[in-house]
Structure 1
Amino acid sequence: MSSTNCEKPPVDVTVASEPEPELHTIFDRTQKKLVAFVVTIVASSSTLQSNIYFPAIPTIAEDLNVSVELVNLTVTAYLIFQGLAPSLWGPISDARGRRTAYFGTLIVLLGACIGLAQTQNYTTLIILRCLQSAGSASTSAIGSGVIGDITTRADRGGYMGFFLGVKLISIAIGPIIGGALAGSLGWRSIFWFLTAYNAFLLVLVVFLVPETLRSVIGNGARAPSQRMARFPLTLYQRYTTVKWDADKVPQQNPAPKRIDVLAPLQILTSKMAAPIIIFYSIYFTVWQMCVTSMSALFTARYGLTVTQTGLTFIALGMGSIIGTLITGKIMNRDYRRLQEKYENDASDGRIFPLERARLSPVPVYVSVQCLSILLFGWTVQYPNQVHIAVPIVATFFGGWSTVSVHSNITTYLVDIFHDRSAATAASLNLARCCLAAAGTSAILPMVHGVGAGGAFTICIAVQLVSMIGLGVQWRYGGVWRSMKESECYD
């Protein structure tokens, strides 16, 4: 990032300058939990829209008179737009406010689902799936921005862990719902269900999510002037002693005058983020290849029905829940432990070791994921010799490790670019989804060519090489942050 675009360093660059919680936001703990819960439920819509679709693919292919391979291309298209769309909505969220971006994305999503429920041909299906992805994918980036707004580094780990973990639970729930609806009411009922669900989410946002963008409302004490940024404050303030007081508003950087759609790309190519994003994109792609192939492999190797295949995702969801409950607490504990260790030495000018606080457990999680995917691949290759429970258990540990790595890395990046938190999440989403789109289209041909065990062994080998990026970030991340701080003061 050039020094000409350098903004005032965030107040939480070092431990000594971390703001007190009551100064950082006027929202009390109950209010923060409510906001975090709502934006998490909204963000889970993104993975739900994607995974609820998987069990219905054979039925859709038969009804529209196309091949399963063609319907699988709609999954690839969905992932591509899932990566691209937040690059627009994330900057809008950082410039115009979280509520404005939420309204836009959810209205687009509603329209796409209504259209999908009435689809009569393949061309309409693939176009509307792209539009559906464009509407749903950005809810995660916007939610990350909200969490970044209302938390400090000291408590951000717990909130971000909950947000990212619960969001991934729909990976397990989606196929179950989709299989049940497609098997009983037809595949179009899936999209009518999503229409009703997304309408409910829009109502939640309208009535329960305040504007949190700090350049608009400060720490929450400044009433927003924009009509789209307002919400029924009485529903939120009736049972609390917290009151609006403009005198409590700390000085904030002004909101950007224009929407910088290149911000996610700038973050993606920044040396402060590129190594860790490259590592995580490959990590996520390998896991997405495993999840995408589950339905086909379990159906072909173990002869499961659509409903039974959906039930196999429960273990993955339980692993995600465990990761949600544990990872956030670990992040908060690690941060506070290092904070206590370094706060007395803040006067010597050393920058806070954020890499140690956020990235220390990542190699452990990666090791667990590598072993779980290898176990999954080699066991499904020999279904006559290995009971189906073994690969299902492997997905439990895969889900746990995946949500843990996702939580740590996303929180780390939001800590670095907290003034552009939605754009930061969008940059991570752009890299991982575009790479995952290529990976998911390649995994089944790989399985047919070298077997499931061989295919996933190759994937793990690539993932281990990608850990070089993690090592580079660990070694030089603090140096780069210190250099950027110096540039800002020059």
Structure 2
Amino acid sequence: MAVPTKPNDAITTASQPVELELGTVPPLVAPKRPNDADPFLVAFDETYDAENPLDWPSGRKWMVTDVLSATGFNRIMVSTIMAPALSIIASELHMSATESAMSLSIYLLATAFGPLMIGPLSEVYGRTVVLHGSNVWFLVWNIACGFSKTKGTLIAARFLAGFGASAIYALAGGVLGDIWRPEQRGKSLGMYLLIPILGAAVGPIIGGYMAGRTTWRWIFWATSAFQAVMTVASFYCFHETSGALILHRRAARLRRQTGDPRYYTLSERLASSSTTIAVLVRTLTRPIRLLAFHPIIQVSALLAGFSYGIMYVTLSTFSDLWVKQYHQSVEISGLHYIACSLGEIVASQMGGPLMDYLYKRNQEHGATPESRIPLVIPGFIVAWLGVLMYGWVAQYRQFWFVVDIGVFIMMFGLQLGSLSLTAYVIDSYREHVSSAMAARQFSSSLMAFLFPLFAPSLYGKLGYGWGNSVMALAGFVLSVPLPLLLWKYGAKLRGRARSTY
């Protein structure tokens, strides 16, 4: 497969483009920097560079995006697929109500801590090795869940499977930031999320039918079979997207083929005075440093975490609502998760193009990452209105379709607000997107783990109406002033922030 290239400062002359065959070593000449300031600094050509992921053909970008999306679908689906089968699993493995809830949410606890390590490592060793390694790790432990004979084994295997699955949360933002330009951010995020957001909602539907028609163990064996297919596919379809690693390989090739050790990349120069251990320590602590010292990460983590926690409260209790409140079967209760899925799908497909439209319109006046914020506030306001509607309609056992409409509105708003907030973080931390996303995911997964643990007692004491009212009120308090703070002061906060290195 031949990929036509334009003049490339590191591998072509200034006037002669070449045909570069994928997987081959290009013809080598002395590199020519844009201003000849440093002829040995290896960097991407600012006009066009065939090796620069931002300049890849659209087909290759979408292939990488789709592989990541399909992988994310399975990993996220596993987080909720066992929800309808919890009572059956608890009975067979002699689990208390708290232990069965723990077996579901421990997966999310692992996704809080996994990205803190996996995200930074992908910035050093590349995206491919992290994706492939996490695929295998997740596959092994998800299979182990299906063979669990005791509650301790199931909970431990779920935690370890979640640790491997968590790579997708750090990788997704990093990879999309690697290959898509800011003006394409909305479309790429919307299309990427189209499949994974189905996972959280489709999981309980599939799990409900499996629990009702066969053993609950097939919940894990079936998802493992799909994961095995995606693991094989990723080896052939997923290409390295880390610009820093691609340049590092180019510089190494130049040094080897010319015998001149003076070729270097910017990242190599930054790390030249540090030992390998020091580089790893600095890398692995980056998400914690971002969370501790960067107000933008702190605010976005709080907003994303709270909304993610409320979403998992709904996902973890939705089946019980239909079984206990409306006296429907487990299989039918799972079908109501379609409303959750539809809300997220519509939001991602409407919000992505709208976000790009607003960004391009602001480009005439100098678009900044803060151009993403205007969609955050209305998105979350709509979400909390949906929470109120869902709660009070369910409280008085009104027609089931009205309940589903409330959940649809809630999920639509949450997805719209989160989509814009994710784009804001990606645009603000272009150098270390994976670490920034890992820092944000820490709070999201932690709240998604904790909130469902309190949901049964919350609804038991206050009911669906007042229980959802409490959550909606807290959502309104957070979701209006904090985005306004980012919109007004975000640029100043970014300018004063400590270096992400």
> Same fold by TM (over 0.5)?
yes
| Counterpart position of 2:336 | 312
2:462 to 442, 450, 454: 450
Give the structure-2-normalised TM-score: 0.82
| 8 Å Cα contact 1:168/1:403 also seen in 2 | no
Q: Aligned-pair distance for 1:281? A: 1.5
How far residue 481 of structure 1 moved from its aligned partner, in angstroms, is 2.2
Asked if residue 285 in structure 1 is aligned to residue 314 in structure 2, the reply is no
Offset at 1:250?
Answer: 12
In the TM superposition, 1:50-449 aligns within 5 A as 50-218=79-247, 222=250, 253-254=267-268, 258-259=279-280, 260-269=283-292, 270-342=294-366, 352-355=367-370, 357-383=371-397, 386-449=398-461
Q: Which amino acid aligns with 2:408?
A: F
Identity across aligned pairs (percent)? 24
Alpha-carbon distance in 1 for matches of 2:66, 2:207 = 24
Q: Secondary structure of 1:66's match?
A: coil
Q: What is the Cα deviation at residue 483 of structure 1?
A: 3.5
Per-residue CA deviation, residues 424-446 of structure 1 (Å, 9 max, x unaligned), is 11111101111222211111101
Aligned partner of 2:494 in structure 1 is: 481
State how far apart, in whole Å, the 2-side matches of 1:167 and 1:20 are. Answer: 34
Q: Distance in 1 between matches of 2:237 and 2:133?
A: 17
**Letter paired with 1:296:** D
2:473 and 2:94 mapped to 1: Cα distance? 39
Change (3 A) 1:164 1:264: farther
**Residues 285/20 of structure 1: CA separation in 2 closer, same or farther (3 Å cut):** farther
Structure showing greater Rg: 2
TM superposition shift of 1:66: 2.2
The residue type equivalent to 1:426 in the other structure is A
C-alpha separation between the residues in 2 aligned to 1:224 and 1:359? 41
Deviation at 1:358, TM superposition (A): 0.4
Deviation at 1:75, TM superposition (A): 2.1
Deviations 1:465-486 (A, max 9, x none): 213322221221111223359x
The code of the aligned residue for 1:174 comes to: G
Q: 1:317 to 1:223 in 2, by over 3 A?
A: farther
Paired residue for 1:463, among 449, 468, 475? 475
CA contact (8 A) 2:177 2:426 kept: yes
CA-to-aligned-CA distance 1:331-385 (integer Å, 9 cap, x gap): 111111100233xxxxxxxxx4321x101011111111011111111111111xx
Long gaps (5+) in structure 1 = 1-17, 226-248, 343-351
SS at match of 1:272: helix
CA distance in structure 2 between the partners assigned to 1:284 and 1:165 by the alignment: 17
The answer to whether the Cα contact below 8 Å between 1:166 and 1:324 also exists between their aligned partners in 2 is no
Provide the C-alpha distance between the structure 1 equivalents of 2:490 and 2:75, rounded to a whole number of angstroms: 31
| Higher mean C-alpha deviation, range 103-112 or range 467-476 | 467-476
Change (3 A) 1:472 1:341: closer
Counterpart CA distance in 1 for 2:355 and 2:432 is: 21
| Structure 1 position 67, deviation (Å) | 2.6
2:121 aligned counterpart, secondary structure: helix
* Kept in 1: contact 2:347–2:412 (CA 8 A): yes
Q: Cα distance 1:34–1:432, how it changes in 2: closer, same or farther (>3 A)? A: same
**1:306 counterpart letter in structure 2:** V
The secondary structure found in structure 2 opposite 1:360 is helix
Q: 1:217, 1:224 within 8 Å by CA — same for their partners in 2?
A: no
The residue type paired with residue 290 of structure 2 is I
Q: Give structure 2 stretches of 5+ with no counterpart.
A: 1-44, 254-262
Which structure has more relative contact order (CA 8 Å, sep 6+)? It is 1
In 2, the alpha carbon distance for the partners of 1:184 and 1:387 equals: 28
| 2:287 partner SS | helix
